[in-house]
A and B are shown apart, each in its own frame.
Chain A
Amino acid sequence: MIQAQVGVPVGRARLTELSLLVWVGVLAVLGFVAVVGAETSSFGVASIIVPAVFIVLALSLHVFLAARRFRGDQVLMPIAAVLTAVGLVQVQRLASDLLLQQLSWTIIAGGAFAATILIPRDLTALARFKWTWAFLGVLLLVAPLFPVIGREINGARIWIKVGPGSIEPWEAVKLLLVIFFAAYLEEYREVLAHSPRRIGPFPVPPVPYLVPIVAMWGIAMLVMVFEKDIGATALFFGIFLAMLFLATGEAFYAVLGLALLLVGGFVAYQLFGHVQVRVDTWLRSFDEDLRFGAGYQLVQGLYALANGGLFGAGLGNGMPDRIPVVWSDFVFDAFAEETGFAGALALLALYLLFLYRGMLIALRAPTTFLQLLAAGLSFIIALQTLVIVGGNARLIPLTGITLPFVAYGGSSLVTNWMLVALLLRVSEVSNRMRGGP
Chain B
Amino acid sequence: MTAPIAANIRSLTLTLAAAFLVTSVGVSYWTIIAADELANDPFNPRLIAASNDRPRGAILDRNGARLATSERGASGFVRSYKDQSLAQVAGYASLQFGLSGVEAAYAESLIGQDRADPISIWRARYLGERQAVGSVVLAIDEKIQKAAADALGGRRGAIVALDPRTGAILASVSVPSYDPNQIVDPQRQQTAMDRLNKAVDHPLLNRTAQGLYPPGSTFKVVTASAALESGFDPTKKLRVDDPYQPDRSWGDYFVRSASHAHGLFDMSVGFRLSENIYFTQVALQIGGGKLAEYAKRFGVGTTPKLDLPAAKGQLSDSGVIDRPTLAADTSYGQGELLVSPLQMALIYATIANGGVMPTPHYATEVRDAEGHVVRQIAPGAQGQVISANTAKALTTMLVGAVAGPGAFAFGAKIPGVDVAGKTGTAENRPGEAPHGWFVGFAPAQAPTVVVAVIVENASEGGVTAAPMGAQVMRVALGK
Which residue numbers of A lie inside 8 Å of B, CB to CB?
A: 189-190, 193-194, 242, 245-249, 291-292, 299-300, 302-303, 305-310, 319, 322, 336, 340-341, 344-345, 348, 351-352, 355-356, 359, 362-363, 368, 371-372, 375, 379, 382-383, 385-386, 389-390, 393-395
Contact = CB atoms under 8 A, between A and B. Distances in A.
Given A246-B8, A348-B20, A300 B45 contact: yes
B9 A308 contact: no
B7 interface: yes
Interface residues of B, number: 39
A270 B35 CA distance: 34
Interface string B1-21: 111011111111100110110
Given A246-B9, A249-B8, A386-B20, A395 B26 contact: yes
B32 interface: yes
B31 interface: yes
The 9 A-B residue pairs with the shortest CB-CB distance, nearest first, are A306-B38, A305-B30, A341-B31, A306-B35, A395-B26, A359-B13, A393-B26, A308-B31, A322-B45
B116 interface: no
B20 A352 contact: yes
A305 B43 contact: no
B28 interface: yes
Main secondary structure of the interface of A (DSSP, over half): helix
- Candidate in B3, B24, B34 with the most chain A CB atoms within 10 angstroms: B24
Contacts of B6: 363, 371
A386 B2 contact: no
A242 B13 CA distance: 10
A372 B9 CA distance: 9
Contact of B19 (A194, A292, A309, A386): A386
Nearest to A301: B30
Contact of B9 (A299, A362, A385): A362
A245 B8 contact: yes
B233 interface: no
A398 to B, nearest CB: 13
Contacts, number: 130
A303 B12 contact: no
A303 B11 CA distance: 36
A308 B35 contact: yes
Contacts of A194: 2
22 contacts: A193-B2, A246-B5, A249-B2, A249-B8, A302-B30, A303-B38, A305-B30, A306-B30, A306-B35, A306-B36, A307-B46, A309-B32, A309-B35, A310-B31, A351-B20, A352-B17, A362-B9, A363-B6, A363-B9, A371-B9, A385-B20, A393-B30
B23 A245 contact: no
Nearest to A342: B31
Nearest to A241: B12
B44 interface: yes
A194 B3 CA distance: 11
A249 B12 contact: no
B22 interface: yes
B27 A355 contact: no
B17 to A, nearest CB: 7
Contacts of B34: 302, 306
Interface string B38-52: 110101111001000
A390 B17 contact: no
Interface string B99-129: 0000000000000000000000000000000
Contacts of B26: 390, 393-395
A309 B34 CA distance: 9
Contacts of B38: 302-303, 305-307
B404 interface: no
A340 B39 CA distance: 14
A198 to B, nearest CB: 15
A423 to B, nearest CB: 13
B234 interface: no
Contacts of A302: 30, 34, 38
B98 interface: yes
B24 A345 contact: yes
B45 A355 contact: no
B41 A249 contact: no
B16 A379 contact: yes
Among A190, A299, A306, A368, max chain B CB count under 10 A is at A306
A307 B5 contact: no
B7 A249 contact: yes
Given A368-B5, A389-B27, A319 B35 contact: no
A331 B41 CA distance: 22
A279 B425 CA distance: 45
A189 B387 CA distance: 81
A313 to B, nearest CB: 9
Given A307-B46, A389-B23, A336 B31 contact: yes
A348 B23 contact: yes
Given A306-B39, A368-B5, A336 B27 contact: yes
B12 A379 contact: yes
Contacts of A351: 20
A308 B28 CA distance: 10
A355 B17 contact: yes
B41 A344 contact: no
Interface string B358-371: 00000000000000
B101 to A, nearest CB: 13
Contact of B31 (A189, A306, A372, A395): A306
Contacts of B39: 303, 306-307
A244 to B, nearest CB: 10
Given A249-B3, A303-B45, A386 B23 contact: yes
Given A302-B34, A344-B31, 11 more contacts: A249-B5, A307-B38, A307-B46, A319-B46, A322-B45, A348-B27, A356-B13, A363-B9, A363-B10, A375-B5, A375-B12
B44 A303 contact: yes
B27 A341 contact: yes
B5 A371 contact: yes
Which of B5, B11, B26 has the largest number of chain A CB atoms within 10 A? B5
Given A292-B98, A309-B31, A372 B5 contact: yes
A326 to B, nearest CB: 13
Interface string B148-168: 000000000000000000000
B125 to A, nearest CB: 12
Interface in B35-87: 35-39, 41, 43-46, 49
Nearest to B5: A371
Contact of A190 (B2, B10, B19, B49): B2
Nearest to A344: B27
B113 to A, nearest CB: 16
Contacts of B46: 303, 307, 319, 322
B35 A375 contact: no
Interface in B327-348: none
A143 B121 CA distance: 55
Given A292-B98, A355-B17, A394-B30, A245 B12 contact: yes
Interface in B177-220: none
A385 B26 CA distance: 14
B55 to A, nearest CB: 20
Contacts of A345: 24, 27
B97 to A, nearest CB: 9
Nearest to B3: A249
A305 B22 CA distance: 16
A291 B98 CA distance: 11
B121 to A, nearest CB: 16
A345 B27 CA distance: 8
B35 to A, nearest CB: 4
A410 B34 CA distance: 35
Given A292-B98, A341-B27, A319 B20 contact: no
Contacts of B41: 303
Contacts of B9: 246, 359, 362-363, 371, 375
A292 B104 CA distance: 12
A305 B45 contact: no
